[in-house]
């Protein structure tokens, strides 16, 4: 395990998370856009009890999965276990045919309504960083126009979209065209679609570093853009042009990813929202479920302990 400049001291997430960002347990289907720790649990009650057992403060929701509980019963369970319903999957087929896009809107509106009733006001969407049919200009215009159609649903149910740009070049190296894969590209799309205040970032440290961004990009960003944060560490032996997208380690493991600088910058921007681990790691995926959850919980504790130390300092120097 890599040792950083911060001397981690054992402490509980329960004691430190209220001071800084709050940890969430992520067990949804990764292709539903929320991501996960390598394990999928399709049982709302089980997810809630696991999150409570391992001292997480929030969970992601998969509203497509049948749930035996009513909305009021779900709210009561979340309240009893002191859990936040953090985000739900973005079901809109943003990059598919016009017919498929239009047909997906009604289901998304139903889920937005349900999420609102549960007290969840964030949906997560990854932006495909490539296209094999439309060039950048045409894909951008199409995506912007479609997001404008979605905006009334967001306004009606008080929902924000967290967009995840995909930084590494691996996923677009052999495609015909590229598409948005940076902070600036994502902000331009939000502005073009008229979604400022309703759109922001699902901000993965892996994508931040491997898109070529640095601390200055966070410093210049409006804090309203930062809606959701994911941590992991990169594999050694690669640069930003060759690093794999779907192979990573737990935070503070390899030292490849500039996690300390990332967290310091976010703290200075007054980000106090949800923080998750997204390792894309085969070893963790093959572990027993609760062993994996404990490992992720311990990793989050170290990350939050680092931030809580910043909270005690009168000045932060990046």
- Residue range 269-314, pLDDT digits in tens: 999 999 999 999 999 999 999 999 999 999 999 998 888 887 777 4
* CA–CA dist 181, 311 (Å, integer): 32
What's the confidence (pLDDT) of residue 31?
66
* CA–CA dist 210, 206 (Å, integer): 6
What's the confidence (pLDDT) of residue 33?
63
* CA–CA dist 20, 33 (Å, integer): 25
Q: Residue ranges per domain, the chain?
A: 22-309
Residues 6 or more apart in contact with residue 137 via CB below 8 angstroms? none
Cα Rg, the chain, nearest whole Å:
19
Q: Which residue has the tokens 């691996």?
A: 170
Do 316 and 307 contact (CB within 8 A), yes or no?
no
What's the confidence (pLDDT) of residue 47?
97
What's the confidence (pLDDT) of residue 304?
87
On the question of pLDDT at 210 being above 70, the answer is: yes
What's the confidence (pLDDT) of residue 318?
45
The pLDDT-based confidence of 36 (bands split at 50, 70, 90) is: confident
What's the confidence (pLDDT) of residue 306?
86
On the question of pLDDT at 217 being above 90, the answer is: yes
Architecture of domain 22-309: Alpha-Beta Barrel (3.20)
- CA distances for 235 relative to 256, 273, 282, 287, angstroms: 7, 27, 13, 20
* CA–CA dist 164, 186 (Å, integer): 8
- Percent over 70 (pLDDT), the chain: 91
More confident call, 103 vs 3: 103
More confident call, 15 vs 224: 224
- Percent over 90 (pLDDT), the chain: 83
* CA–CA dist 135, 127 (Å, integer): 15
On the question of pLDDT at 6 being above 50, the answer is: no
What's the confidence (pLDDT) of residue 4?
40
Mean pLDDT of the region 145-155: 98
What's the confidence (pLDDT) of residue 51?
98
Angle at 87 between CA 127 and CA 11, to 5 degrees: 110
On the question of pLDDT at 10 being above 80, the answer is: no
Tell me the three-class secondary structure of the chain, residue by residue. CCCCCCCCCCCCHHHHCCCCCEEEECECCHHHCCCECCCCCCCHHHHHHHHHHCCCCEEEECCCCCCCCCHHHHHHHHHHCCCEEEEEECCCCCCCCHHHHHHHHHHHHHHHHHHHHHCCCEEEEECCCEECCCCHHHHHHHHHHHHHHHHHHHHHHCCEEEEECCCCHHHHCCCCEECCCCHHHHHHHHHHCCCECCEEEEEEHHHHHHCCCCHHHHHCCCHHHEEEEEECECCCCCCCCCCCCCCCECCCCCCCCCHHHHHHHHHHCCCCCEEEECCCCHHHHCCCHHHHHHHHHHHHHHHHHHHHHHHHCCCCCC
**What pLDDT, in 10s, does the model give residues 57-94?**
999 999 998 899 999 999 999 999 999 999 999 999 99
**What pLDDT, in 10s, does the model give residues 166-208?**
999 999 999 999 999 999 999 999 999 999 999 999 999 999 9
On the question of pLDDT at 1 being above 80, the answer is: no
On the question of pLDDT at 219 being above 60, the answer is: yes
Mean pLDDT of the chain: 91
On the question of pLDDT at 237 being above 70, the answer is: yes
């Amino acid at each position: 395990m890599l040792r950083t400049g911060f001397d981690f001291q054992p402490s509980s997430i329960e004691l430190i998370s209220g001071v800084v960002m709050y940890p969430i347990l992520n067990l949804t289907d990764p292709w539903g856009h929320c991501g996960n720790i390598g394990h999928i649990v399709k049982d709302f009650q089980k997810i809630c009890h696991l999150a409570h057992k391992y001292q997480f403060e929030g969970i992601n929701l998969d509203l497509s999965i049948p749930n035996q509980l009513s909305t009021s019963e779900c709210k009561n369970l979340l309240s009893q276990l002191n859990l936040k319903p953090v985000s739900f999957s973005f079901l809109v087929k943003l990059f598919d045919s016009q017919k498929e896009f239009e047909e997906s809107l009604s289901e998304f509106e139903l889920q937005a309504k349900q999420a609102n009733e549960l007290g969840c006001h964030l949906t997560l969407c990854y932006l495909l960083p490539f296209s094999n049919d439309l060039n950048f200009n045409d894909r951008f215009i199409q995506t912007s126009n479609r997001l404008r159609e979605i905006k009334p649903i967001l306004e009606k149910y008080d929902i924000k979209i967290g967009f995840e740009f995909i930084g590494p070049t691996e996923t677009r190296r052999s495609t015909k065209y590229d598409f948005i894969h940076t902070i600036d590209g994502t902000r331009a799309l939000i502005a073009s679609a008229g979604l400022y205040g309703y759109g922001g970032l699902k901000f993965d440290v892996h994508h931040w570093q491997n898109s070529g961004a640095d601390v200055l990009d966070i410093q210049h960003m409006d804090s309203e853009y930062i809606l959701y944060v994911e941590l992991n560490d990169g594999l050694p032996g690669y640069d930003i042009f060759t690093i794999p997208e779907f192979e990573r380690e737990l935070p503070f493991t390899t030292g490849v990813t500039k996690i300390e600088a990332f967290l310091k910058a976010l703290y200075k921007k007054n980000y106090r929202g949800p923080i998750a681990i997204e390792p894309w790691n085969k070893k963790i995926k093959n572990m027993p479920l609760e062993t994996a959850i404990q490992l992720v919980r311990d990793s989050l504790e170290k990350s939050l302990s680092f931030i809580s130390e910043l909270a005690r300092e009168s000045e932060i120097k990046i």
